[in-house]
Chain A
Amino acid sequence: MPAKAKAKTSKSKTGAAKASGGRLLKYVDALKEAVIQEMDRDPDVFVFGLDVDDPKGIQGSTLGLQQRFGRERVFNTPLSEDAMTGMAIGAAMAGMRPIHVHIRMDFLMLCMNQLINMAAKAHYMYGGQVKVPMVVRSMIGKSWGQGAQHSQGLYSMFMHVPGLKVVAPSNAHDAKGCLIQAIRDDNPTIFVEHRLLYPTEAYTPNDAYTVPFGKARVVAKGSDVTMVGVSNMVIECLRAHELLAEAGVSSEVIDPISLVPLDVNTILKSARRTKKLLVVDNSWLACGASAEIVARVLEEAGPEAGIRVQRMGFAPTTCPTAPNLEALFYPNPATIAEAAFKLAKPKARPWKPDPKQAQLAYQMQFRGPF
C-alpha cells in the first residue's frame, strides 16, 4: 500500500513535467540541483546557514555544495539567526543573492525583526532605491515526536506582511522550479519546505527552469468538491481524492504553490463550479493561509455564488509528542476525505474511509530522529 500510494502521488502530480522530459528526482535532490545550477550561472548566489556544511548537510539538501563551490560561497554560521538574517539583507542590498538556510521553520522566529522590519520593507521605505533579492529556506518538521518547536508551519505570519513572497512547493518539480524562481526574484522570498516531502520523487527536468509564482496548479480534476492543499497537504488531499472516488465523490485538488502572490482565480474558478471549497492547511486555522484563501474566494465570488466552505489544519493546540496525540493533531487523508464527503453530500449518510487505507508512504517510511 505505501509503495502504491507513493507511485500514484508522483504520477498524478507531475504529468506536465513528464511531458516535457526529465527523470524521477527526490525533492531533496531537486532543491540541491536548483542551487547548483543557479550558483553555476550567477557568481553572486551564495548559500549559508547553520549546518549547511556539516556531514548531514541539511538532510542532504546542501551536501557537497561546499566541496563544489568553496567556503567563500557555501558557509556555516554561528547560532546567530538575527544577525545572519540582517547580513543576508545587507548583502542582498549590495547586489548579491544570498540563500539563508534553516533546518526548521521554528527558528525563523529569531529572524522576525530583520525579515519583517527590514527585508519586507526596504524596497518601499527607501523609495525603491534598494532591492532585497534573498531566499530564506526553511523546513517544517512532522512526526517522530518533533513536538512543539520543530513542527510549526508559520508561513501565514509572513503572508501578513507586504513585501515578502511566500512559496510552499509540494513536489520535486515545483521545488526545483520555485527555488530557481526565488533565487532570480528581486524580492525576499520565504521558501517553505516540508521534511516529509524530502524523499518523495517527481519527474523533474534536467535543465534549469522556473515555476512562476502566483500560478496555482490543478493537480487532480473533479466536479463535486474543490480541495486546496498547502505544502504537504497537497499529498494528503491527493490520497483523499482517491478515497473519495471510491465513495463516488469527484473531487478537484488544487496546489496553490505560492501563497504570496496567491492565485485566487484558479481556486475561484473551481469553487464556482463545485460550489464547495475545502482548504487543508499544514498549520493552524486562525489568521492562517486557509483563512486568507477562503476569504479571498468568498469576497470575489459574492454570496450569489453559493460556495460553501470549510477549513482543516492543525488542532488548536501546541503540537504534542505522544504518537497517538500527534496523529490527532494533523489532518490526514481519512479525515480530509470524510470532511470533503460531508461537504459534497450533506444529506447523504456520513461516510469515512478505512484509516488503514489512508496511510501514506512518505509518512510510514519516515523514521526519525529528524
Chain B
Amino acid sequence: MEPSSSLLPKDLQRIYKSLRLIRRAEEEVARIYPSDKIKSPVHLSIGQESVAVGVCDVLGRNDAVSGTYRGHATYLAKGGSLKGMMAELFGKDTGCARGKGGSMHLIEANANVLGSSAVVGTTIPIAMGWALAAQKRKTGAVIAAFLGDGATEEGAFYESLNFASLHKLPILFVCENNGYAIHTPLSKRWATEHLCARVATYDIPTFRIEDGDVFAIRNVTAWAVDAARKGAGPAFMECRIYRWREHVGPGDDYHIGYRQKTELQPWIETDQVEKVGTMLDAADRTRIDKAVEKELAEAVAFAESSPFPKPRALLENVYAG
C-alpha cells in the first residue's frame, strides 16, 4: 500500500525513525547478548516492527498499549524509554522495572505502556480492564492490545472478545500472527485458519493485513481508534508477519528444521524498515540513522554505567503502600 496522501514528509520521517530505532536496538541487543551482560530471555521483534509502529503511530499519549513477551517493539513504538529498556535488560536499578522485570515485563506507565507478561494471553484481559476504566471515566482513550497467534488459542482471548463486544469497550485487538508458537506452526494448532471469521462472530469488525505493510496497518488502526473513541466498541486486526530470528535468543534458527529459510526471503524483500527508508530524502534518512545510532549508543552506555539494584531492593515493592 502507498502511504495515505495526508501523510507529510515529517510523518514518514517519524514512522521511519521508529522502525529504524526498534530494528537497530534489537540488533544491538543481539550483538551484546553473547557477552552475557544481558541476562534476560530476549524474544526479538526483528521483522515484526511494522505492526507496533503502524499501530502506535496513530495512538495518542493518553491511549495505551499492552504487549506480549515479544514486546520490545511495542514498548519502544509507544514511547517507552530506550534507556529504561536497555538498563532493564542489563538488570540495572535504572531499568524501567528497576531490574526486577527483564525483557518480558517492560513497562512505562508515563507513556501508557502497560506491562507485558511471559504467560501467553494473560495481558489481553488486563488491557480490557484498562479499557473498562477508560470507558467508566469517559476519558476517550483507547487501548491497543497486542497478542500473538498462540494467544488466540487461549480461553481468555475468547472471553475477552465476548465481554469487550458486549460492553463496547474502546479496545483494538492486534494479533501479530507470525505463524509459529515457539516452533509449532499453525497447521498443527488451528482447525482452520479463519481467525478473523472466528472473531467476527462476536460482532467485532475484523481486518487482515497480509504483508506487514506499515501504512495499511496504520490505516486500519486509524479507523478502529476513531470508531472506538465514538463508542462503537472493539475492533480486531490480524497482521500476518514473520519472525526473522529464533523464538528466544539473539540468533536465527533455520538450521533446526522446523522452518525453511525460503519462508524468510519474501519478508526481506518487503522489509518495512527499508521500504519506508527509501521513501525519504537521502539526507533526511542519513540524519535519522545518525540520530538513532547516537540514541542507541547513549542507551547502552547508560545501561553499562548504571548500578545494579542494592540488596535491599530484593524486598522492596512486594506490597504497595
Interface residues of chain A, those whose CB is within 8 Å of chain B, are 46, 72, 77-78, 80, 82-96, 98, 113-114, 117-118, 122-133, 162-163, 165, 185-187
Contact = CB atoms under 8 A, between A and B. Distances in A.
B119 to A, nearest CB: 5
A126 B114 CA distance: 9
Given A126-B115, A132-B320, A186-B321, 20 more contacts: A78-B163, A80-B162, A83-B163, A86-B126, A87-B160, A89-B126, A91-B133, A93-B114, A94-B133, A113-B156, A117-B122, A118-B126, A123-B317, A123-B318, A126-B105, A126-B107, A127-B95, A127-B99, A127-B101, A187-B319
B283 interface: no
A130 B114 CA distance: 9
B87 to A, nearest CB: 11
A72 B129 contact: no
A90 B317 contact: no
A274 to B, nearest CB: 32
B56 interface: no
Contacts of B33: none
A98 B129 CA distance: 10
Interface of B: 95-101, 105, 107-109, 114-115, 117, 119, 122-134, 136-137, 155-156, 159-160, 162-163, 166, 316-321
A86 B162 contact: no
Contacts of B316: 128
A87 B122 CA distance: 10
| Minimum-distance CB pairs A-B, first 10 | A90-B129, A86-B125, A83-B159, A127-B98, A80-B159, A94-B133, A127-B97, A90-B126, A186-B320, A87-B129
A88 to B, nearest CB: 6
B132 A87 contact: yes
Given A162-B318, A187-B321, A80 B163 contact: yes
Nearest to A79: B159
21 contacts: A72-B136, A78-B159, A78-B163, A82-B159, A83-B124, A83-B160, A86-B160, A91-B133, A93-B129, A95-B133, A96-B133, A114-B125, A126-B105, A127-B317, A129-B107, A129-B108, A129-B109, A130-B109, A130-B114, A185-B321, A187-B320
B133 A84 contact: no
A95 B112 CA distance: 13
Contact of A126 (B97, B119, B124, B125): B97
Given A123-B320, A128-B317, A187-B320, A90 B133 contact: yes
A78 B166 CA distance: 10
Contacts of A118: 117, 122, 126
Nearest to B101: A125
Contact of B107 (A92, A95, A130, A185): A130
A286 to B, nearest CB: 25
Nearest to B93: A127
Contacts of B127: 90
Contacts of B97: 125-127, 129
Contacts of B105: 125-126
Contacts of A131: 320-321
Contacts of B130: 90-91, 93-94
A92 B125 CA distance: 12
Contacts of A162: 318
Contacts of A85: 125
Given A117-B117, A129-B107, A163-B319, A96 B136 contact: yes
A79 to B, nearest CB: 9
A90 B129 CA distance: 4
Given A78-B166, A117-B117, A129-B107, A124 B122 contact: no
A122 B317 CA distance: 9
Contacts of B160: 80, 83, 86-87
Contacts of A114: 122, 125-126
A113 B122 contact: yes
Contact of A122 (B99, B115, B131, B163): B115
Contacts of A128: 98, 316-317, 320
B112 to A, nearest CB: 9
Contacts of A78: 159, 162-163, 166
A82 B156 contact: yes
A294 to B, nearest CB: 24
The residue in A87, A91, A113, A133 that gathers the most chain B C-beta atoms within 10 A of its C-beta is A87
The residue in B96, B117, B162 that gathers the most chain A C-beta atoms within 10 A of its C-beta is B117
B293 to A, nearest CB: 28
B162 to A, nearest CB: 6
Contacts of A117: 117, 119, 122
A237 to B, nearest CB: 29
A136 to B, nearest CB: 14
Contacts of A94: 129-130, 133-134
Contact of B115 (A72, A84, A130): A130
B107 to A, nearest CB: 4
Contact of A87 (B95, B163, B320): B163
Given A78-B159, A114-B122, A86 B128 contact: yes
A95 to B, nearest CB: 7
Nearest to B136: A72
